[in-house]
């Protein structure tokens, strides 16, 4: 049982998201880069919530910019694989589901911040929403 818990803990540690976008960009494999970018975006939402609660508003805004940039990087990495989203949807669908989760979390964050700061979250959310919608249309194969 101890061995199993040790392996589980190690596997969770090994899959921790990178600390910055440069580490994500440094990943040579596009199929791994998109996963790291989405993990980084998710961690930035968690960080943004903490920064906002601590009253560190500039760091909060930077986290929101990083979320949007990470999702763009994810989209670029997926497109860089050279695969068709409608013919090989596996990675594209995984990314779409993670983006949907990120959108849900951004909606929750948007409701939790003050009215003055909602614009920052809304800007990141609209950027993620646009990429998500384009990806979904490409997966469905209805895009001309």
Read off the CATH number of the domain in which 53 is found.
1.20.1260
Residue 133 lies in a domain: yes
Give residue 117's domain range. 19-140
Residue 50 lies in a domain: yes
> Which of the residue ranges 3-12, 24-33, 35-44, 115-124 would you say has the lowest mean pLDDT?
3-12
> Which of the residue ranges 28-32, 48-52, 109-113, 123-127 would you say has the lowest mean pLDDT?
28-32
Residue 7 lies in a domain: no
Residue 12 lies in a domain: no
Count up the domains in the chain and report the number: 1
Q: Which token pair is 54?
A: 């601590």
| pLDDT exceeds cutoff 80 at 50 | yes
Residue 13 lies in a domain: no
Over the chain, what is the mean pLDDT? 88
Q: Look at residue 15 in the predicted model and tell me its pLDDT.
A: 53
Q: Look at residue 20 in the predicted model and tell me its pLDDT.
A: 84
| pLDDT exceeds cutoff 60 at 68 | yes
101-132 residue pLDDT tens: 999 999 999 999 999 999 999 999 999 999 99
Q: Look at residue 82 in the predicted model and tell me its pLDDT.
A: 87
At 62, give phi and psi (nearest 5°). Answer: -65, -40
Q: Are 96 and 132 in contact (CB under 8 A)?
A: yes
DSSP 11-64: HHHHTPPPSSHHHHHT-S-HHHHHHHHHHHHHHHHHHHHHHHHTT-HHHHHHHH
Residue 3 lies in a domain: no
Residue 4 lies in a domain: no
């Amino acid at each position: 049982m101890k061995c199993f818990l040790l392996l589980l803990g190690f596997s969770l540690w090994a899959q921790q998201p990178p600390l910055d976008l440069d580490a994500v960009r440094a990943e040579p494999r596009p199929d791994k880069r998109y996963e790291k970018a989405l993990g980084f975006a998710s961690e930035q939402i968690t960080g943004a919530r903490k920064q906002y609660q601590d009253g560190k508003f500039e760091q909060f805004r930077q986290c929101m910019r990083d979320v949007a940039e990470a999702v763009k990087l994810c989209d670029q990495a997926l497109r860089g694989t050279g695969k068709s989203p409608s013919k090989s949807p596996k990675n594209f669908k995984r990314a779409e589901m993670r983006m949907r989760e990120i959108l849900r979390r951004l909606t929750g964050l948007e409701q939790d911040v003050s009215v003055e700061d909602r614009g920052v979250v809304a800007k990141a959310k609209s950027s993620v929403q646009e990429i998500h919608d384009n990806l979904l249309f490409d997966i469905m194969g209805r895009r001309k």
